[in-house]
A and B are shown apart, each in its own frame.
Chain A
Amino acid sequence: MLSGDVEAFAVLVARYRDRYARYAYHMLGNREDAEEALQDAFTRAYRSLARCEDPDRFAAWLFRILINRCRTTGARRGRRARTFVVDEGAVLAAAEEHPAERAAWREEIGRALAQLRPDQREAFLMKYVEEMGYDEMSRSTGVGVSALKMRVMRACERLRGMLTEVQNA
């Protein structure tokens, strides 16, 4: 591989980092872990590029790697301590209008997400944030469609319960 090809990979990093940073951040709850998982996903993708069976599906393949890295990172963090760290930079970046209310609401959403079971959080983020269909989710996770629908339903129930309390407080 020519050195130029290594640099070409930088283009792929630039193209996909923002899209997948969002998933990793919401899955793991803080930027440090999200960047670690995302960096790990990119380096593993690079190292295993020959195993990418369909280059046209690179994005989906990379996402599958990231899902696994988030699962691993989340499990490791879970053994250390199950905490949710509010990323003030992300909160402020999203809080241009009505900053106090918006930041508080975003923080509550983060806390509620962190209280979901990881498999439910994963399914919820794919369905509602990444806006994936159940078949695509199934291919990405290796989990059956019925089980995924159940996870999404449970996640919605829990989020609705926790956030309705916040809104009514």
Chain B
Amino acid sequence: MPEHDDEIIEQVADELRGPVPLSASFDARVMRAVRRFPRHSRHSRGAVWSRLTAPRAIVVRPLSAGLLAACVLALAGLGLVQAAKMVRAAAKPAVGGVFARTAKPAATQRVQFVLVAPDAKKVAVVGDFNGWDASHAAYQAKHRGGGVWSVTAPVPVGHHRYSFVVDDTVWMADPTAPRASDNDFGLPNSAIVVEADK
């Protein structure tokens, strides 16, 4: 059978490869169903979930201009021009660094997240500090102009994984931050360490 030379079959396949919309309530229904089940034990032997959600011992030093410059050079060297643009834009003083702190000692710090996404209509930050909830009001980034999106939001002191969610669909690691060595179903995550004030 000429599998790849069959015009009708290819037409059928092209038609069927289009998206199929789900009900707007689909996610909510799934999560309601999931919450009815007993919780998984984080400490049960062999529990995959614990592997996926356990905090990772990633040491990240506070970002400095030198690290940002190194990221830019590394990314440019790899030909990731767009990503490098994001790093450069993120490093601009107008939008601050990747994270900044208030002077007040606290169990949480105010962290500024910055992403350059010129084509985005919406950007949110999700992480283990907000239950990976892309609709969390405190973590919705605002467009600051020039494709730069940022939000300053509270994050508890400690090691965290996070990511950006662009237009509710695209999961994007922070190009200015170290990547968490995740095995989290292929989702790209970034890592930060939020330190208490000394």
Are the C-beta atoms of A109 and B131 separated by less than 8 Å?
Answer: no
Which residues of A sit under 8 angstroms from B121, Cβ to Cβ? none
Measured as residues with beta carbon below 8 angstroms from the partner, the interface class of chain B is 35 or more
With A7-B132, A15-B187 known as contacts, the answer to whether A43 contacts B34 (CB < 8 A) is yes
Are the C-beta atoms of A125 and B132 separated by less than 8 Å?
Answer: no
Identify B27's interface contact among A17, A94, A157, CB under 8 A. Answer: A17
Are the C-beta atoms of A55 and B184 separated by less than 8 Å?
Answer: yes
Are the C-beta atoms of B53 and A106 separated by less than 8 Å?
Answer: no
Identify A25's interface contact among B20, B29, B53, CB under 8 A. Answer: B20
Are the C-beta atoms of A7 and B133 separated by less than 8 Å?
Answer: yes
Are the C-beta atoms of A12 and B185 separated by less than 8 Å?
Answer: yes
**Residue B78 at the chain A interface, CB threshold 8 Å:** no
**Residue B195 at the chain A interface, CB threshold 8 Å:** no
Are the C-beta atoms of A129 and B131 separated by less than 8 Å?
Answer: no
Q: In the complex, A160→B12 CA distance in Å? A: 9
With A12-B185, A128-B12 known as contacts, the answer to whether A160 contacts B6 (CB < 8 A) is yes
A14 to chain B: closest residue by CB: B27
With A5-B49, A49-B48, A50-B49 known as contacts, the answer to whether A128 contacts B9 (CB < 8 A) is yes
With A31-B22, A156-B1 known as contacts, the answer to whether A9 contacts B31 (CB < 8 A) is yes
Proximity bits, B119-142, A CB within 8 Å = 1, else 0 = 000000010100111100000000
Q: In the complex, A3→B35 CA distance in Å? A: 9
**Residue A84 at the chain B interface, CB threshold 8 Å:** no
Q: A-B pairs with the 6 shortest C-beta distances?
A: A7-B131, A1-B40, A128-B13, A1-B39, A58-B185, A25-B20
User: Would you list 26 pairs from A and B whose C-beta atoms are within 8 A, ordered by A residue?
Assistant: A5-B42, A7-B131, A7-B133, A8-B53, A9-B31, A15-B187, A22-B17, A31-B22, A31-B23, A39-B29, A39-B30, A43-B30, A43-B33, A46-B34, A49-B40, A50-B40, A50-B47, A53-B48, A56-B185, A90-B20, A94-B15, A128-B9, A128-B12, A156-B6, A159-B9, A164-B8
Give the interface of A toward B (CB within 8 A).
1-15, 17-18, 21-22, 25-26, 31, 34-35, 38-39, 42-43, 46-47, 49-53, 55-56, 58-59, 89-90, 93-94, 105-106, 109, 112-113, 125, 128-129, 152-153, 156-157, 159-160, 163-164, 167
Give the interface of B toward A (CB within 8 A).
1, 3, 6, 8-9, 12-13, 15-23, 26-27, 29-31, 33-35, 37, 39-42, 44, 46-49, 51-53, 126, 128, 131-134, 168-169, 171, 183-187
